[in-house]
Structure 1
Amino acid sequence: MDESSDAVAILDEQQCWQHLAGHQLGRLVTHVGDVLDIFPVNYVVDGPSLVFRTAEGSKLLELTVNDHVLFEVDDWNDDRAWSVVVRGHARRLDHLAEVEAADELPLKPWIPTVKFTYVRVEPTQLTGRAFARGEEPDRDSIQPG
């Protein structure tokens, strides 16, 4: 074992949700045909899912064509960093009761645009890692395994 083995820790599901709940901005990755797109979106955790608002456009169209998405959130400071990836399905909230419930969430657009559509990302897999930040170890002290 080398001295960098403690530099990466796997986050459990509860830790992943704690990190997600403590932030508001993530990246949504869509996949349609040969095209991958990534969109920054502000979001809120709602139970075991994520909710964001959007307007009509390419993001919503792509989610209609293929609802399989990735959603990634990360953060860092001088000492630590972390990353959480949500794999799942995104669906537009269409039922009145769902929309009314989403209206009560603390979710407002970050930019001055009207966004009438709510989308819920329901995870099928949640993974995360935490990293200790620091200087690179001396390469001469690490032996290839």
Structure 2
Amino acid sequence: MGFGEITELDTEDCWRILSATELGRIAASAGDSIDIFPVNFAVDDHAIVFRTAPGTKLLELAINDRVAFEVDGHDEATAWSVVVKGRAERVERQSDMDAAEELGLRPWIPTLKYRWVRIEPTEVTGRRFARGPEPERF
């Protein structure tokens, strides 16, 4: 197989993968620090929505709303990765919070998470990789 097969995913394939995935990672930064947080999420009208509690994540998003969000996965034959870049904003209007509640998103751990965040994408990219053994080195 040589160098392996890498396929660029089109936007709709990326959204299909995102819609079928529950756990992703958000990368946020404040100053010189970059942090990565695992979050369970839902897709709502080509945006990423997650719940959180007050803390580092919300603080960093208040300082710098530009984020990257990533999901990945694999099966026996392939692996994939989807990256969403965009702007994160707290959901503030009650009607928007009510709509977010309808997504059925619940925390995975027993904590109260009353803050909603929505990532509005500016770029969505993805790749699919054929899995296989490492090629001969020498």
In the other structure, the counterpart of 1:135 is 133
- CA distance in structure 2 between the aligned counterparts of 1:78 and 1:103, rounded to whole angstroms: 35
1:106 maps onto 2:104 in alignment: yes
Which runs of 5 or more structure 1 residues have no equivalent in the other structure? 141-145
Instruction: Answer with 129-138 or 116-125: which moved more.
Output: 129-138
Structure 1 equivalent of residue 56 of structure 2: 58
- The range that moved more, 17-26 or 97-106, is 97-106
Q: Which residue of 2 aligns with 1:16?
A: 14
Aligned-pair CA distance for 1:79: 1.3
SS in 1 for 2:18: helix
2:21 matches 1:35: no
The Cα offsets for residues 81-112 of structure 1, whole Å up to 9 and x where unpaired, read as 00000000000000111111111112000000
1:89 to 87, 90, 98: 87
Shift of 1:47: 0.7
Work out the CA distance in 2 between the residues paired with 1:83 and 1:99. 29
Shift of 1:7: 1.1
4+ runs deviating over 4 angstroms: none
Matched with 2:124 is 126
> 1:34 corresponds to which letter in structure 2?
D
Q: Which runs of 5+ in 2 are unaligned?
A: none
Structure with max Cα Rg? 1
Determine the C-alpha separation between the residues in 2 that align with 1:47 and 1:91.
15
**1:6 positional shift:** 5.6
Equivalent pairs counted in the alignment come to 138
RMSD: 1.2
Question: For residue 74 of structure 2, what is the aligned residue in structure 1?
Answer: 76
Q: Aligned partners of 1:75, 1:47: CA distance in 2, in Å?
A: 22
| Cα distance in 1 for residues equivalent to 2:30 and 2:67 | 10
CA contact (8 A) 2:68 2:85 kept: yes
Q: Is the 8 A contact 2:4 2:131 kept in 1?
A: no
TM-score normalised by L of structure 1: 0.91
Whole-angstrom CA distance in 2 between matches of 1:124 and 1:29: 15
